[in-house]
Amino acid sequence: MSATQAFSSGDARGDQLCINTIRTLSMDAVQQAKSGHPGTPMALAPLVYTIWNRVMRFDPKDPIWPNRDRFVLSNGHASMLLWSVLHLTQTQAVNADYELLGQASVTLDDIRRFRQLDSKAAGHPEYHWTSGVETTSGPLGQGVATSVGMAIARKWLAARYNRPDFEIFDYNIYAVCGDGCLMEGVASEGASLAAHLGLENLCWVYDNNHITIEGSTSLTFTEDVSARFLGYGWNVLRVGDANDIDRIERALSIFGSTKGRPTLIILDSHIGYGAPHKQDTAEAHGEPLGEDEIRLAKRSYGWPEDAKFLVPDGVYEHFARGIGDRGGARRREWSGLFNEYRAKHSALAAEIDLIERRGLPAGWDRNLPVFPADPTGMAGRDASGKVLNVLAQNIPWFLGGSADLAPSNKTRLTYQGAGDFQADSPEGKILHFGIREHAMGAIVNGLSLSKIRAFGATFFIFSDYARPAIRLAAIMELPAIFVFTHDAMGDGEDGPTHQPVEQLAAMRATPGLVTLRPADANEVVEAYRYILELRHKPAVLVLSRQPLPTLDRSRYAPASGLARGAYVLADPPGGNPELVLIASGSELILAVNAHETLLGEGVRSRVVSMPSWDIFDQQPKDYQESVLPPAVDARIAIEQASTFGWERFVGGSGRIIGMKTFGASAPLKELQRKFGFEPGRVVATAKELLGRM
Ligand SMILES: Cc1ncc(C[n+]2csc(CCOP(=O)(O)OP(=O)(O)O)c2C)c(N)n1
Ligand SMILES: [Mg+2]
């Protein structure tokens, strides 16, 4: 019997050999790296094997096929599970242009170099870095919450694009999580919303091993998880033995036929399964087993004790005959179906093509408003609401909502037919996240990973509640959109708990995140124009609650300057400024008013509108120096936020009019006086700088 004939699909010996290959690759990789988490891959190898080789609709030859099932490893520390299975299924690598590269996404060499620089087998699953990873995970809870966004996306896509006889989108989302994920609040937020929305296409498998880093869960986590999820409205199943792949498969098939609610499978497992001294202990969680223990564990599996990184004959073939054949057949069937669909519903098919490439439809920016000059003006949030309503009508797959603040954020889509997304109206484009900012962030990420153009909104101060997800959007290079209103002290009376101070600095410090704080209604329009064209970057839009004058653009420079991050809004007659006033958002008008006064007093001041530091940073040096001339060191930055970081633009001899404390509860006008956001202070500071007191 040749090696490849050694066993066939459905053959228990073959199943076991594949499972033990996942286990031993994981143990060997962690040992070689001298870091990582061996115990959970050893315990969950049968689960991952069953999902992948018996159940999931996934074609390793085309890992971006749109109707594939999604697999999320929310307990990202167990990444060796994913690297092993991506390798053993020979999942193919795809580049950023969605082209197959003709090589495996994870090679055996990558696994040998687990956690080393440039290895595709990184410490945690990294979307964008390794093909076949559906989302970055590692911060516990994020993966499961993100999976809720994926499930919403699939529901929405199906509602819009499926037609009688054309089930174009009917995929499922499988997420694996541990005690840590289920302790994190973000998972609870996501689970609650998933049940409310009746996301029957969502299955979480909970690795109930009673172990976290500090030891037994008896220290911290003694709730009844089953009762909790039943309370949310989930379908809860239990598999008492993580090694029983037939029962796992049965539970997964019950998930497949459950209607109207998501499914949680509670799987009792033994961390470090097979390691005689470490099984069921926290030591199996986060450190290599050690050579001796590995040998003993391999002996318990009936494995050659000294073999390392061994993939026995027949293992690749077993996966090829399981997931390879099944996934390939399903993908080919789908492609055939999609070709017929293209013939019959060509406009819809063209939309799907665009979605999959993160494109925009022709005319996506038609009817964007142009706001006339108006000294009373309009609040940033109101301008934003008008723009969102135009964009959502121009771009079918642009949708989103707020964490219960739509009336304040002005994010509600009010046009006829927009509709609420609910269990019985999955075609709706208005999302209601409830008061769940953290899950909202993760769900927006899940929607973005599913190629939907999504936004989430709340008050800027509560961006803190969503920040871990925003950070992941930046790491994943997702074009997610976060709309934050009440950008500074505009909500006066609400007081310091509601007035952002350090949030802008935090957003600006996040690599790859585009932060924009527009100064008037036309800058809001330009901000959206800029954001919509981003394909690989998330954006944060920071908007005012209170009306801001709409600048007369025949007098001042056009708002399109926003696309360069900062631009010269106003100059003294003949140019050649001796002083530069730099401001963003609501403080721009303060700079403009001070500028007019200063001009009257013979000071040659310039006003620079700076809605985005990071976009300005990307401009060529000569442009930057044309806006902020190196020779002019009399510079004043004005912003109702922490002064942190403005030194880089005003230099050692400039001044920053900003916040050094938290705010206070009072009407806005009084706060402006108390904290010195008044033209008089700007004028006085300018004169002091220029030595003309
Ligand atoms: C938000 C967050 N907090 C803390 C950690 C650090 N951490 C990684 S794994 C882990 C324990 C997780 O326990 P569990 O989910 O039960 O995983 P198991 O050890 O059973 O695999 C912790 C605290 C993290 N990755 N993310
Ligand atoms: Mg655990």
Give the pLDDT mean for 107-133.
98
Residue 48 makes CB contacts below 8 A (sequence gap 6+) with 22, 81, 82, 84, 85, 176
Nearest in space to 481 (alpha carbons), one of 523, 511, 443:
443
Q: For residue 6, is pLDDT > 80?
A: no
Please state the atom number of ligand 1 nearest to the C-alpha of residue 177. 15
Looking at the CA of residue 282, tell me the nearest atom of ligand 1.
Answer: 19
Q: What is the mean pLDDT of the chain?
A: 96
- pLDDT tens profile 318-347: 999 999 999 999 999 999 999 999 999 999
For the beta sheet containing 567-570, the strands, ordered from the edge strand earlier in sequence to the opposite edge, are: 567-570, 605-609, 579-583, 635-642, 655-659
Question: What share of the chain in percent tops pLDDT 90?
Answer: 97
Mean pLDDT confidence for 464-491: 96
pLDDT at 450 over 80: yes
Choose one of 124, 212, 218 to mutate for the ligand 1 pocket test, by most ligand atoms within 8 angstroms of C-beta.
212
The letter for the amino acid at 384 is S
Specify the residue with its C-alpha closest to ligand 1, atom 15: 180
Ion ligand 2 neighbours (CB, 5 A) are 178-179, 209, 211
Answer positive or negative: Cα dihedral of 548, 549, 550, 555: negative
Helix (H, G, I), strand (E, B) or coil at 90: coil
Which pLDDT value is given to residue 466?
Answer: 98
Q: What is the pLDDT of residues 158-210, one digit of tens each?
A: 999 999 999 999 999 999 999 999 999 999 999 999 999 999 999 999 999 99
Alpha-carbon span 559 to 541, nearest angstrom: 16
pLDDT at 2: 34
> How many CB atoms lie under 10 A from the CB of residue 101?
11
Tell me what the mean pLDDT of segment 547-569 comes to: 98
Three-state SS letters, 444-510: HHHHHHCCCEEEEEEEHHHHHHCHHHHHHHHHHCCCCEEEEECCCCCCHHHCHHHCCCCHHHHHHCC
Percent of the chain with pLDDT over 70: 99
| Spatial separation of the C-alpha atoms in residues 540 and 521, rounded to whole Å | 17
Backbone torsions φ then ψ of 482, nearest 5 degrees: -120, 120
Taking residues 91-111, what's their average pLDDT? 96
pLDDT higher than 60, residue 239: yes
Model confidence at 10, pLDDT cuts 50, 70, 90, reads: low
Centroid of ligand 2 to alpha carbon of 208 (angstroms):
6
The dihedral formed by the CA atoms of 22, 27, 31 and 36, expressed in degrees to the nearest 10: 80
On the question of pLDDT at 253 being above 70, the answer is yes
Å from CA of 139 to ligand 1 middle: 8
Q: From atom 18 of ligand 1, which residue's Cα is the shortest distance away?
A: 212
> In whole angstroms, how far apart are CA 359 and each of 25, 159, 579, 627?
39, 20, 43, 33
Q: Which of 255, 261, 232 is nearest to 423 (CA)?
A: 261
Per-residue pLDDT of 387-434, as tens digits, reads 999 999 999 999 999 999 999 999 999 999 999 999 999 999 999 999
Integer distance in angstroms from the first to the last C-alpha of the chain?
97
SS3 103: strand
Confidence of residue 11 (pLDDT cuts 50, 70, 90): confident
611's CB contacts (< 8 A; 6+ apart) are 516, 517, 518, 519, 523, 527, 562, 565, 566, 584, 585
Q: Quick one: pLDDT at residue 4?
A: 33
Identify the pLDDT of residue 1.
29
**3-state secondary structure labels for all residues of 481-496:** EEEEECCCCCCHHHCH
Q: What is the mean pLDDT of residues 520-535?
A: 98
Q: Which ligand is nearest to the CA of 38?
A: 1
437 noted as active-site residue: yes
DSSP-assigned beta bridge partners for residue 636 = 581, 655
H or E stretch covering 540: strand 539-542
Global pTM? 0.97
Confidence label for 548 from pLDDT (cuts 50, 70 and 90):
very high
Three-state secondary structure call for residue 681: helix
Q: Which residues contact ligand 1 via a Cβ below 6 A? A: 40, 75, 77-78, 138-140, 178-181, 184, 207, 209, 211-213, 271, 285
Whole-angstrom Cα Rg for the chain: 28
**Residue 3 pLDDT more than 90?**
no
Q: What's the one-letter identity of residue 153? A: A
Contacts of 35 (CB under 8 A, 6+ apart): 115, 123, 287, 288
Is the pLDDT at 608 greater than 60? The verdict is: yes
Q: For residues 162 and 154, is the Cβ–Cβ distance under 8 A?
A: no
Query: What is residue 7's predicted lDDT score, i.e. its pLDDT?
Result: 41
Interior angle at CA 425, CA 420 and CA 429, nearest 5: 40
Structure tokens at 264: 């949680």
User: Is residue 568 helix, strand or coil?
Assistant: strand
- For residue 53, the CA-to-ligand 1 centroid distance in Å is 27
